Structure 1
Amino acid sequence: MTSHPIGHEVLAAVLQIRGERLRVLVWERAMEPDAGRWALPGGRLGDDEDVETSVRRQLAEKVDVREVTHVEQLSVFSDPRRMGEGPRLIATAFLGLVPSDADPALPDDTAWHAVDDLPATAFDHDLIIDDARDRLRAKLSYTNLGFALAPGEFTISALRELYVAALGHPVSATNLQRVLTRRDLLEPTGETVPPGRAGGRPAALFRFTDRSLLVTDAFAVLRPPGRPSGTGARPVLP
């Protein structure tokens, strides 16, 4: 069997809530293979880089996403046929999160596409996006990762909308506030925002007590209403 050099790339599934939908950052390939399909940002691992340094550099250089509030490694994708007939290329994939109030500058060939309505994607990038979405949903259950989706200050109703978009199912604002407060993850800022056109009381503003990742309840599961929890899992926000 003839051996060939194996390349190594890093890819980032960068997610953000935009227009009340969970979206991923992708760019349209102009050259073969898979010209016209949409790909995740990334590139070859540099000789003097570790994988996280490489993915952060390439995000900053290629798509000017400097407001990523959280980055973590997802998985290694090493199927020998993941690049089709081309040279073998192993990918280390990352999840990146951008807060909902950020609007980074993007090149003309790059856009935010809804995760639940993706265009045709290049290679195995749809699998990586699915993994990123599933990782985010899982970690919203047992960590404080909501901080990476939210602006610095927010109302509870606004935070609920972010959780709904990320999880893909209804969430009670009252239960969300209760759960996150019980875990000491939220604190009031002491400020309010004026009521909307419908009137009512001013809404209190909150912030996360810590904007670095914390495991808060290792066995919690944020599940849709009416869906039974798995064995050993403690349901949250039923």
Structure 2
Amino acid sequence: MQIAPRTNAAVSADVVIFTIYEGRLSVLLVRRVTAPYAGLWCLPGGLLDEGEALDDCAQRVLLEKTGIQGVYLEQLYTFGQPGRDPRGRVLSVAYYALVPYDRLHVRGGVERLDWFPEDELPPLAFDHRQIVGAARRRLVGKLEYSTIALQFMPEEFTLSSLQGVYETILGERLDKRNFRKRLQALNCLEDTGKRYSGGKHRPARLYRAKSPGEVRIIK
């Protein structure tokens, strides 16, 4: 039996970085300065180095392109449609990262960085709009069976602010009483003993995650 020659393909890691910014789910994008697609926006990404693990490549891309490190990072899906990159055959192993906005220290450089609401993205290079869409669907689905929303929260937060994160991602209002019952059943928060006194309402209790940086799957 004759075996057809295999195609040599490069592998890249591309990262969808989500945060909640000004009450909206937002994505960090990089403006390309070289061909192809010079001037268009894209996800932070880079080619896999020889002998480099995929997860290490994604973490390196985050650090080199944005200065972000030490955040929740999860592999999403592999995108390998022929023709997705005009330079040749490139397989993209996509990741998504979740970052509390108060922990962001994005550094500038030759490539311009900016935040865009997930539902108002500019024209994107390659198939990166498809990748963002897949990442959002994964995030929405995972809200139902995990504690992933806590990755958007600062060290201390109110239950109302956490509910706001769920509502922002889902795009719908949630019943306050049912939401708090669900949180209580998850047993993922602890009371700090402090209160937040902003606004005209009575001071609200401040909570923190029992296991910060960990996403627990709910069975």
Shared topology, TM-score over 0.5?
yes
The match for 2:101 is 100
Distance in 1 (CA, whole Å) between partners of 2:133 and 2:192 is 35
> Secondary structure of the residue that 1:171 maps to in structure 2?
coil
Structure 2 stretches lacking a partner, 5+ long: none
Determine if contact 1:67/1:98 at 8 Å carries over to the other structure. no
Code of the aligned partner of 2:100: P
> Secondary structure of the residue that 2:155 maps to in structure 1?
coil
Report the Cα offset of residue 75 of structure 1.
Answer: 0.4
Report the Cα offset of residue 128 of structure 1.
Answer: 0.5
| Residues paired across the two proteins, number | 213
The match for 2:84 is 82
Structure 1 stretches lacking a partner, 5+ long: 218-238
Distance in 1 (CA, whole Å) between partners of 2:35 and 2:7 is 21
The match for 1:110 is 113
Q: Deviations over 1:114-161 (max 9, x none)?
A: 100000000100011001111111111110111211111101111111
Report the Cα offset of residue 173 of structure 1.
Answer: 3.1
Match for residue 176 of structure 1 among 172, 175, 179? 179
Root mean square deviation, CA, Å: 1.6
The match for 1:232 is none
Distance in 2 (CA, whole Å) between partners of 1:26 and 1:189 is 35
Code of the aligned partner of 2:203: P
Q: Deviations over 1:80-120 (max 9, x none)?
A: 1111x321100100011101322322326011111000000
The match for 1:233 is none
Tell me whether 1:155 sits opposite 2:180 in the alignment.
Answer: no
Distance in 1 (CA, whole Å) between partners of 2:70 and 2:114 is 16
- What does 1:161-200 align with in structure 2 at a 5 Å threshold? 161-196=164-199, 198=200, 200=201
- What does 1:1-238 align with in structure 2 at a 5 Å threshold? 5-68=8-71, 70-83=72-85, 85-107=86-108, 109-196=112-199, 198=200, 200-211=201-212, 212-217=214-219
Code of the aligned partner of 1:192: R
Q: Deviations over 1:140-186 (max 9, x none)?
A: 11101112111111011111111111222112333222101111112
Which is worse superposed, 206-215 or 131-140?
206-215
Q: % of aligned pairs identical?
A: 33
